[in-house]
Amino acid sequence: MRGLEEGLGPRPTATPCGCAKPALETGNLLTEPIGYLESCFSAKNGTPRQPSICRHSRACLRIRKNIFNNPEHSLMGLEQFSHVWILFVFHKNGHLSYKAKVQPPRLNGAKTGVFSTRSPHRPNAIGLTLAKLEKVEGGAIYLSGIDMIDGTPVLDIKPYIADYDSPQHLMKPLGDFNLQNNRLKPRTMSQSDGKTDSCDQRQLSGSDGPQPSRITNEKHRHPEDGAPEENVPKHSSTTKIQQTWTENREIAVDFGLESRSSEGRTVAEQFGPPGQEKTLLEEGIDKRPRSMESALILQESSMKTQHVTPPCPAWVADRASHSEVPAWVKEAPAASLQVRFTPHAEMDLGQLSLGGEPGAGKKSFKYFQSAEEAKCAIQAVLSADPRSVYRRKFCQDRLFYFTVDTAHITCWFGDGFAEVLRIKPASEPIQITDPEESLVSL
């Protein structure tokens, strides 16, 4: 992507023997968008942070003719799938910048590694969205439940196949695994300070993180939209990834792990070779049959301390998808907001859906099918609190603007709620390109 920004194509890379490796071999891929998304969101401001937030958010993607002479051929059979993965470029990131740690909104200012988030600011500015496939028509697909803005360059479409794309085995923590000596450790105390480790400290970078404490059955949430961190602290705090060495290697193969190696060992082996499981069983630590999972916690810590499992769960099982996520993803402090509309806003919406003033003959919505749908979408966007952490903290008394479909919305945020004040045709107000410009003092 950097090559693209700088206008340099992928270059052959010299190998030790002096010969040039082709671009694909080195991972230098010159991408060409298969199409540019037409989306109901015209700017980043107010665009949902994840596709699941707003099911009425709609988009259309037309496959470009310079990719395939007959774009419709490339979409043949796709209509049989209900959902598709969309790979795209965060083309409105501004200049390409990324940091190792970011501050996702759900962490309210705390930091975590960029690869544990869905931040748009990453080394290769590539986004991944699971969207509902509404229909395929000729060389175009129609989507809903999207989180991409209008004009987004799309790199690829892949069908969503639950059997491949959703983990089938519930990952259960059995105990801590100390990578230094390959042994299970009892869940008691941190050897570094002799105190019981708390789950929040274990989870978050820095000590200013929130205090996740309970497991909820809330709708799945995402570590979304992390802004790059300001300062990179020298010591990274502990991050543990709970993974399981499941019944056999097939799963690792399914996930493409078997063939990748690191320092002579495949990733699958690093997760825990079967021999290791046997050792654990022999030690009587896990009495379960060999076919059941044993757990491995991968530790990342620049401090030479041993970390242990906290008394409260720092990961939570997502029962629907049989996977686990850190607690902060589900229980982060950003609560969902109540959304209300002033009578004036309700009236605006009614008028907009009719195409403006009676007799004005203006076009109403392009993507929404009714005023009710538009209202649902506005509610969904606002209840997830689309403000950045900075705005939430320091610009509470400001109006917030965003555009969805043909509606330009003006609202404000109070304690635990968002109120829609006005809804006007998007063509009327001044077009806001810089999100900061959308902040106006009340």
Ligand X SMILES: C[S@@+](CC[C@H](N)C(=O)[O-])C[C@H]1O[C@@H](n2cnc3c(N)ncnc32)[C@H](O)[C@@H]1O
Binding site for ligand X (CB under 6 A): 44, 47-51, 90-93, 118, 120, 127-129, 147-149, 152, 224-225
In whole angstroms, how close is the CB of 308 to ligand X at the nearest point? 31
Token code pair at residue 121: 């600011």
Residues 6+ apart with CB under 8 A from 256: none
Query: Which of 279/383 has CB closer to ligand X?
Result: 383
Q: What are phi and psi of 165, to 5 degrees?
A: -95, -5
Alpha carbon 82 to its chain centroid, in Å, reads 20
Q: State the Cα–Cα distance between residues 417 and 412, nearest whole angstrom.
A: 9
Query: Which of 46/313 has CB closer to ligand X?
Result: 46
- The Cα-based distances of 201 to 141, 193, 205, 318, 383 in angstroms read 45, 13, 8, 22, 28
Token code pair at residue 294: 């044993």
DSSP letters, 26-46, are HT------SEEEEESB-SSTT
In whole angstroms, how close is the CB of 23 to ligand X at the nearest point? 24
Q: State the Cα–Cα distance between residues 201 and 216, nearest whole angstrom.
A: 20
Q: Is the dihedral of CA 109, 111, 115, 121 positive or negative?
A: positive
What type of residue sits at position 215? Answer: I
Task: Indicate the length of the chain as a whole number.
Answer: 442
